[in-house]
Amino acid sequence: MSGAAWVDYGQLYVKPEDGSSQLGECFGGQVNGLCGAAVPGGLFLIVSLQAGEVGFTVELHEQEPPVGGEWEEVVEVSYRPAGPVHLVAWANTKTWPLEDLEPVDYRVRYCAVAMDETRTGEPKEGEPSRERYLLQFWPAPPEPDRIVRQTSSHAAYWHEFAREQPPPPPEAQRAAVERRAREEQERADAPARSRGEERDRAEWLPNERPRPLRGSVRSLARLDRGLVESIADADEAAQRDIARWVARRTCVQAKLADVDWIAPALDAMDRDEPLPPPFDDGRVVRERLMTDERIPKTFVAGPHGKGDRYLQQAMALMAVYRALEEDPLRAVCDTLMAGVTTFGRLRHDLLFEELREAFPAVA
3-state SS string for 271-332: CCCCCCCCCCCHHHHHHHHHHCCCCCCCEEECCCCCCCEEEHHHHHHHHHHHCCCCCHHHHH
CA distance 35 to 21: 14
The rounded distance, in Å, linking the Cα atoms of 37 and 45 is 9
Instruction: Give the model confidence (pLDDT) of 43-70 as tens digits.
Output: 898 888 766 778 889 999 999 999 999 9
Span 173-217, pLDDT tens digits: 555 555 666 667 677 767 766 655 555 444 344 455 544 455 577
The pLDDT, as a whole number, for residue 122 is: 47
Across 231-245, 275-289, 290-304, the highest mean pLDDT is recorded for 231-245
- pLDDT higher than 70, residue 164: yes
Those residues whose C-beta lies under 8 Å from the C-beta of residue 155, and which sit 6 or more positions away, are: 33, 34, 73, 112, 115
H-type helices in the chain, by residue range?
23-26, 115-120, 153-163, 171-201, 215-233, 236-253, 263-270, 282-291, 312-322, 328-343, 348-358
Name the band, by pLDDT with cuts 50, 70 and 90, for residue 123.
very low
Mean pLDDT, range 251-262, rounded to an integer: 95
The whole-number pLDDT of residue 225 equals: 85
pLDDT at 21: 56
**Higher model confidence: residue 184 or residue 113?**
113
What local confidence, expressed as pLDDT, does residue 131 receive? 87
Distance CA 33, CA 333 (A): 37
pTM: 0.49
Higher-confidence position of 224 and 250 = 250
Structural domains in the chain, sorted by start: 2-165 (2.60.34.30), 205-362 (no CATH)
User: What integer pLDDT is reported at residue 203 of this predicted model?
Assistant: 38
Out of 16-30, 85-99, 311-325, least confident range? 16-30
CB contact at 8 A, 16 and 43: no
pLDDT band at residue 130 using 50, 70 and 90 as cut-offs: confident
Nearest partner of 298 among 350, 243, 250, 353, judged by Cα: 250
Mean pLDDT of 243-272: 95
Q: Considering the chain, what is the average pLDDT of its residues?
A: 81
In this prediction, residue 248 carries a pLDDT of: 97
For residue 88, pLDDT over 60 is answered with yes
Q: How confident is the model at residue 23 (pLDDT cuts 50, 70, 90)?
A: confident
H or E, element range at 207: none
Query: Which of 59-68, 185-194, 257-266, 309-318 is least confident?
Result: 185-194
Peptide bond into 81 cis (omega under 30): no
Q: Is the pLDDT of residue 102 over 80?
A: yes
